[in-house]
A and B are shown apart, each in its own frame.
Chain A
Amino acid sequence: MGRRNVAAASKGRGLRPFYIILGLLAVIGIAAIGYAVVGRGAGGAALEPIPVEGADDPRTLVERAEGISVGDPSAPAKLLVFSDYQCPYCGQFAAQIAPLLKAEFVQSGALELVYYDFPLGGLHRYSFLASRAARCAGEQGKFWEYHDVLFGEQSRWGASSRPPLDEFEAYAERIGLDRQAFSACLRSDRFADVVSANKLLGEQLGVTGTPTLILNGRRVMNWSNYAELKALIEREAGA
């Protein structure tokens, strides 16, 4: 063996640790990408409304739909809010009007506020998933906290080019939910039936846009004018 070959052979042995490190990194990288491809897709997460059995019958639909309320159920004024988590005006209502209503009327027992999902779909492609996410949080007793986070972060997760499952899970963790339980709920079809029924109920009630407010059976047209809304509630509550 010539001197050059000896040097090359010795050099080849010297490169062995380098190749081992490179190989290990390749294995880790391929495994991580594989996990991302298999485990981090939308998976079984329901992203769209599903057919609701018996939806033709209004009574059945009312039974299947399920609002989430805050306040005294026997309050003289009942305000139904049909809302979409990706709708900016709904975000405005949630951030600016709802807190005033809660402080001024709900706490005093004059008003019951009931939230109904009305995911518009179309451009709001994750609003159905968001509605389900909030209900998953509700399962752990933190619907309203999660509701507020979703509206607060609306512009971020709404801009996602993929279903924002990871973001929703991180929000859940942020407000102290059991992430694993939340994730199991989110990445399934849990609450797809309830959210779908809520939307159908809204459609039956003539809801076409969001947010739509219905106060004791009457639609509130100018909800963004708080003074006007307040006067209406006061009248209904007999204040």
Chain B
Amino acid sequence: MSVAAVDVVHGREAAPPITRMGIAVLSLAGFFIATYLLLHRLGVVGTLACGADGGCAVVQGSRWAVFLGVPVPAWGVGGYALLLGTALAGVQPGLAGDRRVAAALLALSAVAFLFSAYLTALEAFVIHAWCRWCLASAGVATAIFLLSLPEIRRLRRG
């Protein structure tokens, strides 16, 4: 019997995990950042608000801006959407202790974190330009990963 089920039986179901709420909010922010970059890539947004150095344009125009044939921002849009959906499911009554949600959040956030680290390393050592929106997304992915660490405890508990 899961922790949540036990709590319900005793009439004191655990409060929705605040970390998952944080993940949902951050995922939505990341989703909009990635959408903005994707719209730029698709030509819908003329120019990025990126400061004087034009680093976003350099990064977005580089050959590293496409991963497995798909523009990197599109991976971001998809990844953040999945994280948002999973986190929203995870705050629902009855799913707070669900091991599947915990595993999915942990796996998705780890992939997002590692992919962001890889992209940031490319900016630093290969492209030699900084895209502040990409850095913002990397910061969001890192925060989501940190917030997902308590899921390890939930997995063990389950």
Contact = CB atoms under 8 A, between A and B. Distances in A.
Interface of A: 3-4, 6-8, 11-12, 14-15, 18, 21-22, 25-26, 29-30, 32-33, 36-37, 40-43, 153, 156-157, 159-167, 170-171, 173-174
Chain B interface residue number, banded: 35 or more
Interface string B52-79: 1111011011000000000000000000
A156 B53 CA distance: 7
Given A7-B13, A8-B93, A29-B28, A37 B54 contact: no
Contacts of A18: 16, 21, 24, 91
Contacts, number: 117
Given A18-B21, A33-B39, A166 B50 contact: yes
Contacts of A33: 32, 35-36, 39
Contact of B47 (A21, A29, A165): A165
Nearest to B10: A3
A164 to B, nearest CB: 6
B28 A22 contact: yes
Interface of B: 8, 11-13, 15-16, 21, 24-25, 28-29, 31-32, 35-36, 39-41, 43-55, 57-58, 60-61, 91, 93-94, 129
B32 A162 contact: no
Contacts of B49: 36, 40, 166
Contacts of A36: 36, 39, 45, 49
A150 B43 CA distance: 24
B15 A167 contact: no
Of the listed residues B24, B28, B36, B57, the one surrounded by the most CB atoms of chain A closer than 10 A to its CB is: B57
A23 B93 CA distance: 19
Contacts of B11: 3, 6-7
A4 B47 contact: no
B86 to A, nearest CB: 14
B25 A21 contact: yes
A14 B24 contact: no
10 contacts: A3-B11, A7-B11, A11-B93, A22-B28, A33-B32, A36-B39, A36-B45, A161-B60, A161-B61, A164-B57
Given A3-B8, A14-B15, A18-B91, A162 B57 contact: yes
Given A36-B39, A161-B57, A166 B47 contact: yes
A41 B46 contact: yes
B28 A163 contact: no
Given A14-B16, A156-B54, 18 more contacts: A7-B93, A18-B91, A22-B24, A25-B29, A29-B31, A33-B36, A37-B45, A40-B47, A40-B49, A41-B45, A41-B47, A42-B47, A153-B54, A157-B54, A159-B58, A167-B54, A170-B51, A174-B52
Nearest to B28: A25
A12 B49 CA distance: 39
Contacts of B93: 7-8, 11-12
Contacts of B53: 153, 156, 167
Contacts of B58: 156, 159-160
